[in-house]
Amino acid sequence: MTAARRSAAFVAGFGAYVRWLTRRAFRGLWVPERVHFPESGFIAIANHTSWWDGFVPFIVQRACSQRHPFYLMMSDEGLQRFPFFRYGGAFSSGGTSLRRAYDAIEYAAERARDGAGVWIFPQGRLEPPGTPLRFTRGFALAAQHARVPVLTFAMRFALLDAQRPDAFVAQGPMLRDTSRATVDRAQLAVQRLLDAMDGEIASGRAMLGRRALLTAPLGIDAVSERIVRALQRRS
């Protein structure tokens, strides 16, 4: 089997597995009514607070823009733990080596130039929710070299009134000016998305204006509610 066919087969199987895994873990994966992707390739960025952060973009992009191949920059440690992710589009960030980090930026630029969607977490590592954002500039360099836009996203995970938590995705502006100011503009855009989502979650409005890409099987909370309603109708 060729590398391309092996990769396509892996992505199809891996995609089904990721959807199954996510449906078991979350009540819903909530995205804007419309998620906008350009015709060209792109660099997409988001905050990085959870082990799930790579899976959510994978699901979103495959559901909303299958014409773009999916790539994701991962840490060396992550790829060492899960080397088979390479077949699904993951590649190393280069770790602490400047030479390898530059190679990773060039690889990201090449894939985006060829029409792929390349996701990068500019924080460079997992940070607890609420940590002030500090973006590195590798994503801006990749977009500049590829001459493609930067898409801004944010993710939040919240345990609300159900057995399972909910995953929320927000999309911000598309940045086409990939100058040195792009890092500051992107960081501000993602922070505004996070602040807005935090307010929506706190006020119970997080699902308004969003649709569920995935919903979970019935949990004990939903089953109990149905039993109670059935008993009330009989009484």
pLDDT in tens, 88-105: 788 999 876 778 889 999
* HSE-CB for 74 with a 13 A CA cutoff: 24
- Which stretch of 32-36, 42-46, 95-99 has the lowest confidence by average pLDDT? 95-99
**For residues 77 and 192, what is the distance between their CA atoms, to the nearest angstrom?**
30
What pLDDT score was predicted for residue 13? 84
Phi, psi of 214, deg, nearest 5? -135, 145
In order of 18, 33, 44, 152, 213, the CA distances from 174 in angstroms are 27, 17, 9, 6, 22
User: 3-state DSSP: the chain helix, strand, coil percent, rounded to 5?
Assistant: 45, 20, 35
pLDDT average, residue stretch 48-65: 93
* 84, pLDDT greater than 90: no
* 198, pLDDT greater than 90: yes
Q: Whole-number mean pLDDT of the chain?
A: 88
Phi, psi of 176, deg, nearest 5? -100, -15
The DSSP symbol for 28 reads E
* 57, pLDDT greater than 90: yes
Residue 132, C-beta contacts closer than 8 angstroms, at least 6 positions apart: none
**For residues 217 and 131, what is the distance between their CA atoms, to the nearest angstrom?**
33
* 156, pLDDT greater than 80: yes
What pLDDT score was predicted for residue 148? 96
* 224, pLDDT greater than 90: no
pLDDT average, residue stretch 45-59: 94
Tokens read off for 164: 């399972």
* 75, pLDDT greater than 90: no
Q: Which residue has better confidence, 220 or 114?
A: 114
Residues in the chain: 235
Expressed in angstroms, the distance from the first to the final Cα of the chain is 63
* 1, pLDDT greater than 60: no
* Residue in this structure with the two tokens 């873990």, named with its chain if needed: 25
CA nearest neighbour of 115 among 69, 168, 182 = 69
What pLDDT score was predicted for residue 2? 40
Share of the chain above pLDDT 70, in %: 88
The superfamily in CATH containing domain 3-234 is: Glycerol-3-phosphate (1)-acyltransferase (3.40.1130.10)
Residue 23, C-beta contacts closer than 8 angstroms, at least 6 positions apart: 214, 215, 216, 217
What pLDDT score was predicted for residue 82? 80
